[in-house]
């Protein structure tokens, strides 16, 4: 059953690509005029963000492809594959290159250039506000999606790490811009490249931490994490409240995509619900009157099987209505 999924991540990713694309060009221009290590770190940071957010965009588009013969349930979790690739890119391009350049600058002590103040301040201030704007877009999207979960819990356990990636990348970007501004300012004040290089290393370490968080968030979803325990409990309580269900002996879930859950449950039904007592009385009279009992018993068994199938279909229908996030339901009679 197809479900309409509300996905705020698309708007956040598009805004991030456009914003970071402009910022990347400006920062590289600033680095060309200043040769600042932390400005290069910020340029690489923004380039990594733009590239990775392009991967997030590809992941969103890929995950929206409908079911095919090869992928009968669609490709909702494709975004997690692309998100993981994005996290790897953040680690190697952001953390690796940025930290290496910062350490190199710290060791070799580059000469401080004098004519950079106006350009650097203008670029960093503009970048700060644009990154902050994208950050707010992602934050609003998460507020709409997280429900009763806290922000930190949603970042760790939510089912849509695409929006989380934009939020964290731009949050780190805002912090990185602040560190770059401080590092460049201190280097200019003390006429030493050391503060600037330290700021570059700090920015690289931030990106490394970001990459680890994103890799963990997407890895757990690719492995097949279950839905939130509260959601699972609600599903079990709903089924056991139905008059024809005795109890749910087993329930398992798997996140297939944002707001898309696969449910597998073993259900024990009330046996009396499947018995048509009036029909049984008629069939008993037929047997007592001398009719061949075999076809009568076969008909009784076939009728019971049909009733069980109808009840299972009814239960699935009620679950889909009550829990729109369910994309696939598998029920077994215990």
Beta-bridged to residue 250, according to DSSP, are: 266
Domains identified in the chain and CATH numbers: 9-223 (1.20.1510.10), 229-333 (3.30.70.1350)
For 7, phi then psi, to 5°, come to: -130, 105
The answer for residues whose C-beta is within 8 angstroms of residue 303's C-beta and 6 or more apart is 276, 279
- Burial of 226 per CB tally in 10 Å (0-12, 13-18, 19+): middle
pLDDT digits (tens, 9 = 90+) for 81-136: 888 888 888 888 778 877 887 788 778 765 555 445 677 778 888 888 888 888 88
Q: Residue 110's pLDDT is what?
A: 58
pLDDT higher at 313 or 291 = 313
pTM for this predicted structure = 0.72
Please tell me the distance from the alpha carbon of residue 186 to that of residue 108, in angstroms, as a whole number: 18
pLDDT tens string 176-215: 888 878 887 887 777 777 887 888 888 888 888 888 888 8
Asked whether the CA dihedral 16, 138, 165, 73 is positive or negative, the reply is negative
């Amino acid at each position: 059953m197809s479900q309409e999924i509300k996905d705020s991540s698309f708007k956040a990713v598009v805004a991030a690509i456009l914003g970071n694309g402009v910022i990347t060009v400006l920062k590289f221009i600033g680095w060309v005029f200043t040769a600042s290590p932390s400005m290069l770190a910020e340029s690489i940071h923004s380039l990594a963000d733009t590239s990775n957010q392009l991967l997030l965009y590809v992941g969103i588009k890929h995950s929206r492809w409908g079911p095919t013969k090869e992928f009968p349930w669609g490709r909702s979790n494709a975004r997690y594959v692309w998100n993981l690739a994005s996290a790897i890119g953040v680690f190697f391009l952001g953390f690796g290159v940025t930290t290496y350049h910062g350490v190199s600058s710290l060791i070799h002590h580059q000469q401080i250039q004098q004519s950079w103040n106006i350009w650097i301040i203008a670029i960093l201030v503009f970048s700060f506000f644009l990154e902050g704007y994208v950050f707010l877009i992602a934050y609003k999207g998460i507020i709409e999606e997280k429900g009763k979960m806290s922000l930190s819990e949603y970042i760790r356990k939510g089912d849509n790490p695409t929006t989380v990636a934009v939020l964290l990348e731009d949050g780190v970007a805002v912090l990185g811009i602040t560190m770059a501004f401080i590092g460049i300012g201190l280097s200019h004040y003390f006429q030493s490249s050391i503060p600037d290089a330290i700021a570059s290393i700090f920015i690289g370490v931030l990106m490394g931490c970001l990459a680890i968080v994103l890799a963990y968030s997407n890895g757990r979803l690719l492995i097949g994490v279950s839905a939130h325990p509260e959601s699972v409990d609600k599903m079990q309580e709903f089924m056991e409240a139905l008059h024809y269900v005795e109890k749910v002996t087993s329930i398992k879930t798997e996140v297939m995509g944002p707001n898309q859950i696969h449910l597998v449950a073993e259900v024990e039904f009330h046996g009396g619900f499947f018995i048509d007592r009036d029909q049984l009385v008629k069939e008993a009279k037929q047997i007592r009157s001398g009719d061949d009992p075999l076809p009568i018993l076969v008909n009784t068994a076939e009728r019971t099987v049909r009733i069980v199938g109808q009840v299972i279909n009814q239960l699935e229908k009620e679950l889909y209505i009550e829990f729109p996030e369910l994309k696939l339901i598998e029920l077994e009679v215990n």
